[in-house]
Each structure stands twice: as structure tokens, then as C-alpha cells.
Structure 1
Amino acid sequence: AFSSDRNGNVVNHANENLQVFAPIDTAGTRFNTGATVDLVLPTLSGAPQATDNVIAALNLDAAETQPGTAWPAGTTDTTDVAYSAAADPTFESNITTDMYNHATSTTIYDSLGNSHRATMYYRKTATSGLWQTYTYIDGTLAGDGATANHYSTLQFQPSGALDTTAGSVDAQGRFDLDAWTPVNGADPITVTFDYAATSQYGADFAVNDLTQDGFTAGRLSGVDVDNSGVIFARFTNGQSTALGKVALAKFNNPQGLRQLGDT
């Protein structure tokens, strides 16, 4: 049996190190098989990763009409109000439901692993198949600087599929938001939104997929070994990384083997 010592070395009862092939990639698909190294468990937290991409596969209801209330001017989705201690304050959102048709949100991460709320509002226009989308991060508009009001556009074909030759998207159905700078000292966030699988059918609004590739920092929570001998470290943020691969051998006649040494 193996266990780890206080320095993270994986050793047996005789304090001998478990030897592995060092990984070339964190996915555990390639290894340096020229030599073995001691297996050492990570003692630091798993590093965070800033969000670079958001995949949004939605259905925007084709039966919707353009909202009657115009989109508000300004760059935040809330309004600051003054109040006195003598009365309960009333806070009103700067964006009300009569300004948009659909909305959804997801959590994204900055370079320090801090989470932020990205909210996407979808507004039908008077042009057939054309929608505006406004994206706010922590209440601040982080839209497409190519448009005056920092919104992006999604144009749909008569079939209901996204038109990748029109609107704000590129040929792959994606567009980039302007860089948004967190107030906590993290690097500016530049997110690419992928709407390639979004449709406009005559059906209710639906979020079929809404995923992003960032994550916060994580602590080591366990170690797994797969059937091929690859050892993975698992972290509390849901991520895993390959630590090495145990050198395994298959013998045609295992009964002919003879034990040598303390193994």
C-alpha cells in the first residue's frame, strides 16, 4: 500500500517512492517515457482560470414582438437612489421586463478566480429575425463597442437557424465583448460568446446549453488512478490534472514470476 508523507511524496511502507512517467500534458494523454520520476502530490491550490469562452445554445421565441419600452441609456442595469433613515429605501432596477423579451445569466471568472455574474438580455427588433443582445457583468454593460449602445445583434434565417453572414457574429457564430476590467485588480476579462447553436423557432424560450470555461482556485480533494495507470489529482473546483503514469507491464506467464527484494 502507498501513502503520502508530509512533503507530498507517495511512498510505500518501506518509505520507497512510487515512480511514474512524468506527464507532458495535464489531460494525461502524453508522458515522458524515457525515465521515471518520484510521484509527488501537489501541496498548492489548483490555479484558477479566467473565462475566455461562453457557449450559449438557446431558442429565442419567433412569436415574440419588439418590446414597447426603449432600452435605457447608460452603462449599468441598476439605478442609485437617495433615501433617508426615516423611511425604508426603495430600489428599482434600471431595466424592466417590458424592455426585453428574454434573459438568462451565468457565472464567469476572472484571472484571480473571483466569480462574476454575466447577464444577457435579448430584445426582438422590428426587423424580421433580428435580435439585440445586451450583456452586463456585475451590473455593468460589457457589450460590443462596434455599436453605439454596446449591444450585439443576432440575425436568424427563415429556417430559424443563426445566420453567420449577418449580425455581430463571425462565420463560426461567435462575437467578442469589449474587455471588462474587474475592480479587484484582476486582469481585464475579454469573453467570446458562441451562439452557433442558438435558434429562433416558434417555441418557448429555452436554454439548452449555457457553459463557460473558467473556474476558481481549488484545493486538493483526492487522487484517482484509471485503468491504464494514470494518476490524477482532483481539486475542489471540479478540475483534475495528471500527475504521472505508473509503469505497468503485462506478462504472458505471471505464475512464472519470482519475488525479489522487498516488493
Structure 2
Amino acid sequence: MNTYDFKNQVAVVTGGAQGIGLAVVERLLAGGAAVAIWDRDAQALTDASQRLGALGTVVTCEVDIVNLASVQQAYQQTVQALGNVTILVNSAGIAGTNAPVVEYPQDEWSRVVDINLNGTFHVNQVVVKGMIAGGYGRVVNVASIAGKEGNPNASAYSASKAAVIALTKSLGKETAGYDIAVNAITPAAAKTRIFEQMAQQHIDYMLSKIPRGRFVQVREIASMVAWLVSAENSFTTGAVFDLSGGRATY
């Protein structure tokens, strides 16, 4: 495993109490970063804190990223506890219901877009403002291969992740004059708790589309994220990095 020097770096990882986010937190701690885990699941936060506390400096914030005031409060708590945030990984998200567009429930559409897109916007807006003031930052927004291809019976998820890609590109251009890199990753599905939200038929469909013939592992995602949020990534911004096992068409 490659190691990166994250000493004196302060990271925020949303959705960091489980799944992809948790794997990223572990990787950042291994490099010496102080990490604030933002998640809405109080029990998962407690479990993560107990599991990771021996690995380095970890603080937890129970936060609803859909609520801008909640994000602002979590940011203030993080800065007070750890200092200025220099690394941000937006991993929080949901899959939502599987249904055709013509039958997709309106309230479910709004819920998925609120968390996956609006929540990511809120976090980027609040945290990157501090990065601009500090003259340094690294951001990774977790999108999805569904945002490139559009998965059938997953329109809300696909559309929200496509929007995250566009948000990343816009923010990357806006901050290109600073030492700030804003990039996105588009992983294929990983076996995390998000599978609990999906129909088995949809899970089988996703696996059938991956040329490598397996789902991506969270540690593989964390490996790519580690480089993207390191100081070594000093030029690339507004880009989208594939983790689809060969599925990506562009």
C-alpha cells in the first residue's frame, strides 16, 4: 500500500462512519491526518469512533447534510476541535428506490436528490470557502458510474450523481487559481449497506455490466482517493476518475 504524508492535515469525510467513507477515514489516519467524521447515523458514529480512536485523531459530528445550518454547525465544531479543514471527501449518499421513471415516487425523487446533490452542494459550499481563505485544499466528491451511464430503474440516483459530476467540474474551474484541487470519482457498486436499498435484480444488473466480473472493494476506492487528496495531486482539478472495472464508456 502506498502511503501519503497527511501530517498537519485536517480532513472531513461525510458518510465516514461506514462503507466507502470509513475506508477513506482509515487511509487518511494511516497517513497522519486528523479526521472529522460527519454522518447522520449516531450509532455508526459511536462504533467508528471506538474502532478508529487508536489509529489517530478522530472527532465525530452528527450532521444532516441536507440541512445547511447543520452543515455549518458541524464545520464550526470541526474547526474548533482540529483546525482549518484542508481535505474534504463527500461520500454520504443513498441509492433510493428502484422503479421506472414513469412510476418513480415524487417524494423519493426529492429525497435522493436532496441527499446526493443538495447535500454535497452544501458541504462543498461551506468547507471550500474555508479552503479558499487558507489558500489550500483537496476535495473529492463521490459520484458513480451511474452518473455517466444512467442505470435503468435508478433515475434519481443516476441523475443526482451526474449532477455531482457537473458540480465538481464547475467548482474545480472556480478554484483553479488557488492551490485547491476538486475532483470526482465514479466507482462501480461496492458491497456496502447501500445494497440494502436495492432490489436483487438491480444488484445483478450492475454486476453483469462490470467487465472485471466483481464489485469494487472499498479499500480500492480509498487508494484512489488517497492520491487525489494528497499534496502530490498538485495540477489535476475538475476531473472525473473511473473506478468502474472497465464499465465506463467515457
TM-score (norm 1): 0.26
* Higher RCO (Cα < 8 Å, 6 or more apart): 1
More strand by share: 1
TM-score w.r.t. length of structure 2: 0.26
* Greater share of residues in helix: 2
